[in-house]
Amino acid sequence: MILSYNMITAIEKVHLRTDLGSIHSGDTVRVVQKIKEGDKERLSAFEGIVIATKHGQGITGTFTVRKVVDGIGVERVFPLHSPLISKIEVVRRAKTRRAKLYYIREKAAREVRRKMKYIFQEKVPVAETQEAIKSE
């Protein structure tokens, strides 16, 4: 049986998620993923910088998130429309000049953060900002 282009797109539309926002390189995101262990199910968060988005916004779209844990870089590739992803929160937006930020692998995280221009969506209440400064 030969599937026509219209049939394939109709099948893909059923599986596309509409609750996701736009994700770009340089954004700091928190991906909450469902993990099944035996007959129990729990949620696990992975927070880091998006270093690449690939294959567009379609059913095959993926994005790569990188974070540093105890001085070791950890990267995970997430399918954009996976049913195992509970939600994707954009913690911080940034304007970058590159679509793929693979150079971050060689750079120190502090060095890269200086170069990125952050775009703040929401204003953080002044009390929380002052508490953060005091704790440092």
Q: Tell me, what's the pLDDT at 33?
A: 95
Using CA atoms, how far apart are residues 111 and 94, in angstroms rounded to an integer?
15
Query: pTM for this one?
Result: 0.74
- Average confidence (pLDDT) per 10 residues, the chain, 136 residues: 81 86 92 94 96 91 92 91 93 92 79 64 52 55
Q: What is the pLDDT of residue 125?
A: 53
pLDDT at residue 134, as a whole number: 55
- With residues binned 3-state (H G I as helix, E B as strand, rest as coil), the percentages for the chain, rounded to 5, are 25, 40, 35
CA distance 104 to 66: 9
Dihedral sign, Cα of residue 28, residue 92, residue 42, residue 20: negative
In this prediction, residue 110 carries a pLDDT of 66
Residues 6+ apart with CB under 8 A from 82: none
Taking a C-beta distance cutoff of 8 angstroms, is the pair 86, 42 a contact? no
Closest CA to 81 of 4, 16, 13: 16
Structural domains of the chain in order of their starting residue, each with its CATH number: 5-122 (2.30.30.790)
pLDDT of 126: 52
